[in-house]
Amino acid sequence: MMLAYLDPGSGSALVGTLIALAGALCFSLKSLFYRIVCGKKMRSGDEGVQLALFSEGKAYWGTFQEIVEELIARKIHFAYYTLDLRDPGLLIDSDYMHAKLFDARKATSYHKLSRVNAKVLLATTPNIGTPNYPLKRSAGIEKMVHIFHAFADISAYHIGSLDHYDVVLTVGPQQEVPIREVEKARGLKPKVIIPVGLPYFDVQYHRLEGAVPKVQSERRTQDKPTILVGASWGAKGLLSEYGTKFICDLAKAGYHIIVRPHPQSYIAEPDFIAKCQMETAAFENVIWDRDTTGVKAMQMSDLLISDTSSIRFDYAFLYKKPVITLEIPAEKRLEYEGQFMREIWTEKAAHRLGKVLTHQTLPTIVEVVKDVQKAGAFVSSSSISDFRDETMVNVGTSAKAVVEFLQKEMV
């Protein structure tokens, strides 16, 4: 008798393929059901669309999830456009949600998206309409609304990222001043700015309500803590600026390391990331995380080392764990809107979250981590809670605030 063998790598790939095919089948059957049984069509920019949501894919479902649920609960019809076959939004069965896939792998998808019609389009995506970006602003969109999917202000946005937006929905008051400074410096028409909160934060916030003791108990009981290294991509990232030597130093000291680059790194700089992985390959206590969300990595770890990434705020505000920031020099961020600002809010915020290290002080990182291990934290839990309340509005209810705004805009 002959037995077939499937190695783990191939098995994983096969399972992933089957899941993707199952998602495609479900979406196709849903579309067919609407067309044949219910006599409804999947709207793709027809004149009947008042509200459209645009998502780049699965990685942004945390932002749209509770907004979608709130729209459905209020019986508001809306279109949902996504570039990703794996987007969970495609599997929602509701008479009020009209979902459509614009497959990012097809060259025509961006062209079709650039022709949709809607009174209001809500998106997290910066750069829509900017030169060299494939997605143009459709002439059929009356009002384009940007919603932040992170705590950071626009200092880390590329120059011109929000030039074609009419409205910006912010996390809190700290994001308005940078926007106004950029508008004034570059002679832009002032946008409408509405503070609503941060929907993806609320998804995690609701999951953790009453569950913090459990999360804490599931952390590793070991002499050496687990360190999460959360890196931005490109020139503003710590891997680009500092390399992997400090990671290797921590690994040699016996710490468990989870390295989590921004998902865009695997798209924009794959060769560089592969090089960094090779440099740490000798250490069994260093792993690289490619999960869609960083939730598991944040729960498993005891301390975060990051750069300009907004993961620092998630880590501190949700889990109340210590953060170390590696400073990124201003000259490495000339392509970003921050060059038009007198001061960068996130740079000041870094000192309220924890320690800030530079090229001069990075060699002390093993000692700094030891100090954290002894003290348990750099800042008090109450201080972090106060900071969160200063920087966020509508904690836990941001989706309601977003939908209430959208309803007013559709009148």
Residues 285-297: pLDDT tens digits? Answer: 999 999 878 889 9
- Residue given tokens 């000798």 in the structure block: 282
The reported pLDDT for the residue numbered 378 is 74
Closest to 314 measured CA to CA, from 228, 242, 192: 228
**Residue 219 above 60 pLDDT?**
no
Enumerate the H helices of 218-337 as residue ranges.
238-242, 245-252, 265-268, 270-280, 295-300, 311-319
**Residue 217 above 80 pLDDT?**
no
- Helices 381-391 and 311-319 pack at an angle, to 10 degrees, of 120
Average pLDDT over residues 383-406: 95
**Residue 22 above 90 pLDDT?**
no
The reported pLDDT for the residue numbered 377 is 75
3-state DSSP: the chain helix, strand, coil percent, rounded to 5? Answer: 45, 15, 40
Would residue 367 be called left, alpha or beta, if left means φ above 0 and alpha means ψ between -120 and 50 degrees?
alpha
The reported pLDDT for the residue numbered 214 is 44
Closest to 292 measured CA to CA, from 63, 98, 24: 63
Low-confidence winner among 21-30, 255-264, 269-278, 349-358 (lowest mean pLDDT): 21-30
The two structure tokens encoding residue 62? 């945390």
- CA Rg value for the chain: 22
The two structure tokens encoding residue 257? 């390391």
Task: Considering only residues 332 and 112, tell me which one the structure prediction assigns the higher pLDDT.
Answer: 112
CA distance 55 to 52: 10
Model confidence pLDDT, tens digit, residues 347-371: 899 999 999 999 999 999 999 999 9
With beta carbons less than 8 A apart as the criterion, state whether 124 and 53 touch: no
Average pLDDT over residues 372-386: 83
Q: Which residues pair with 193 in a beta bridge?
A: 168
DSSP β-ladder status, 167-170 and 141-147: parallel
**Residue 81 above 50 pLDDT?**
yes
Average pLDDT, rounded, for the chain: 86
- Residue given tokens 């494939």 in the structure block: 134
Low-confidence winner among 13-22, 63-72, 245-254 (lowest mean pLDDT): 13-22
